[in-house]
């Protein structure tokens, strides 16, 4: 009887999860179907078009007479490479300093760091723009890349500090006995052991900066420097919006984030689940 009850509960749970998953996936399914529709079919309640317009993808990819969508993907991926590199390296260095090194007012500066997480980003937009404008850096990728080379962000530093604190200090002491310096301990001991947390930082940095439409529209004005997000806006600037092409390109625009997440999912889950645990 118990076996029958457990089997019934298992089937019920799977059925519930399947229905819930389909409910969550419905917008994506509609999105895929709408990307294959003609513009006049957009108002119809059907999910899938009568005739799939695969040409929406080819036309959307070459919608601009001057640049293809591949050009905007290349711009965005180049910017993402430097953002991820800077965010991972500098946040790891700063976190190592707070977690392992002893210096005056360490607790005070760490508290200030945490307080910056509560500061709305809108507060710093105007002074940052004035600074970059005075330096002649507007309409370049530097305002979008440079902040990632100064700690990567308070949240990432806090995440890595908690992870490093979970690494036994005995490893540091053993490395010191072998003659390793502070930098050697970081490079040979700490940095390899915090790989799961670094993957988490890399994923968040990639996704957040990829979706940072406001920063991109604020600092970039030349079409040849546009990112994917700004390229999608160009569809709306047209006299007649080609919704099928717009949805097709927006669907392609999320594929890098999805690919990055699934490729690093194992390390991402490990980094989240073990952060803050003591070794």
* pLDDT tens track for 30-79: 888 888 888 888 887 788 888 888 888 998 898 877 888 999 999 999 99
Q: Which residues contact 207 (CB under 8 A, 6 or more apart)?
A: 257, 260, 261
273 has pLDDT over 70: no
pLDDT at 272: 54
% pLDDT > 70, the chain: 91
Provide the b/e sequence for 17-47 (b: ≥16 CB within 10 Å).
eeeeeeeeeeeeeebebbbbbeeebeeeeee
How many other C-beta atoms lie within 10 A of the C-beta of residue 73?
Answer: 19
Q: Which residues contact 64 (CB under 8 A, 6 or more apart)?
A: 223, 231, 234
1 has pLDDT over 60: no
Establish how many alpha carbons lie within 13 A of residue 194's alpha carbon, considering only the half-sphere containing its beta carbon. 33
- Name the least confident of 2-11, 176-185, 201-210: 2-11
* pLDDT tens track for 206-260: 999 998 899 999 999 999 999 999 998 888 876 677 888 889 999 999 988 888 8
């Amino acid at each position: 009887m118990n076996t029958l009850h457990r089997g019934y509960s298992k089937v019920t749970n799977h059925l519930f999860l399947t229905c819930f998953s389909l409910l969550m996936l419905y917008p994506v399914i509609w999105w895929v179907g709408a990307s294959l529709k003609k513009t006049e079919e957009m108002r119809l309640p059907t999910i899938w078009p009568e005739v799939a317009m695969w040409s929406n993808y080819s036309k959307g990819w070459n919608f601009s007479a001057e640049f293809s969508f591949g050009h905007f993907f290349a711009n965005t991926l180049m910017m993402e490479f430097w953002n991820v590199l800077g965010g991972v390296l500098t946040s790891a260095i700063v976190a190592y300093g707070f977690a392992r090194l002893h210096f005056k007012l360490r607790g005070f500066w760490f508290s200030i760091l945490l307080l910056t997480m509560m500061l709305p980003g809108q507060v710093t937009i105007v002074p940052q723009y004035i600074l970059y404008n005075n330096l002649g850096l507007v309409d370049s990728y530097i305002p979008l890349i440079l902040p990632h080379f100064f700690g990567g962000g308070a949240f990432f530093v806090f995440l890595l500090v908690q992870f490093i604190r979970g690494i036994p200090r005995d490893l540091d002491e053993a490395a010191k006995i072998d003659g390793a310096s502070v930098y050697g301990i970081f490079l040979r001991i700490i940095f390899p052991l915090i790989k799961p947390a670094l993957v988490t930082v890399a994923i968040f940095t990639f996704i957040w900066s990829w979706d940072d439409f406001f920063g991109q529209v604020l600092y970039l004005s030349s079409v040849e420097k546009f990112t994917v997000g700004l390229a999608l806006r160009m569809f709306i600037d047209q006299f007649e919006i080609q919704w099928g092409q717009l949805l097709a390109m927006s669907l392609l625009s999320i594929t890098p984030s999805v690919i990055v997440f699934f490729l690093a999912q194992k390390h991402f889950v490990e980094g989240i689940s073990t952060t803050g645990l003591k070794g």
